[in-house]
Amino acid sequence: MKLCLPLAATCRSLICVPRAQPFATAASSGVGLGLPRVAELIGSATPGSVVVMAGAGVSVSSGIPDFRSPGTGLYDNLQEYGLPYPEAIFDLDFYRRNPKPFQRLCKELWPGNFAPSPTHYFFKLLHDKGKLRRVFTQNIDSLETASGLPADLVVAAHGNFDGAHRVTDTGHPGAAVPLEEVRQAALHGGDAEWDALFEAHGGPVKPSIVFFGEQLPRRFFELARADFPKCELLLVLGTSLGVHPFAGLVGETRVGVPRLLINRDRVGEHLGLDFASGTDGWVGGDSDAAVRELASLLGWTAELEQLV
């Protein structure tokens, strides 16, 4: 296994989001390994051998706010918070100095107001059929587990709102903090409630999402090293593969393992994806449409729609 990701590597971005597209009913374009062949590979895959990499594109149809799209993304609509630059709202040093902007935004970001997409439910179906090994996700929305996937099958590379912790000076999470206390402050409190929370725990606390300046969870590195040597098929959905170390996972499969990218844009060739090789493929367009087509090819349509 050639995975050499230093544990000190930090997250350069919380979410890498393709621009939202109108909902599609079929994959719009593609090259190389196609959906019919991928369906065959899923059908014949050894139990627990399909690995998924998911980005924010899989949550667009769920209504999750887009962070980066010009004009409509979250980063373009933070003027009310008086930030020195948009990404400061997720910067650990800035949070230590001025936690109020993130605290006010936290209510909007907190999971619970969004339902999983058909793509999330397809991941659940892969598990139900015994094919899924793991979902590695860039997303902080916890929609993978909301679809019914067991938490141990999901690796949230950039953390999520499923826990909370003290903020430290090391980049490592500090002591765990009861999540319900943070949730109550985020959803129902104001500055006074957050201040009381900080005082009760001896310093700043926040949900366990990865900020700029924090280290990725150890579990991400440990399970990447464990899972990718056993991967027989890699599905990469809704990510521009621009954020490391997450993006580098596409190069961690064994030589010759088929890899399918489902994404609006054709990306990843700089990471070794070779769409002329016969083992890699790109399907452009909407991930929900693509997984519905895969479900149809596999004879799983009724089961997928029942989950949705």
Q: Where are the alpha helices (DSSP H) in 167-216?
A: 179-188, 191-200
212 close to 206: Cβ distance less than 8 angstroms: no
Count helices and strands in the chain by DSSP H and E runs? 10, 9
Would residue 158 show up in a list of annotated catalytic residues for this protein? yes
Given the residues 120, 158, 165, 201, the one annotated as active site: 158
Looking at residue 213, its amino acid is G
**Per-residue buried b or exposed e for 83-102, using 16+ beta carbons within 10 Å of the residue's own CB:** beebbbbbbbebbeebbebb
Beta bridge partners of 261: 236, 282
Region label for 134, one of left (φ > 0), alpha (ψ between -120 and 50) or beta (otherwise): beta
- Kindly state the helix (H) or strand (E) to which residue 128 belongs, with its residue range: helix 118-128
User: What are the residue numbers of the active site?
Assistant: 158
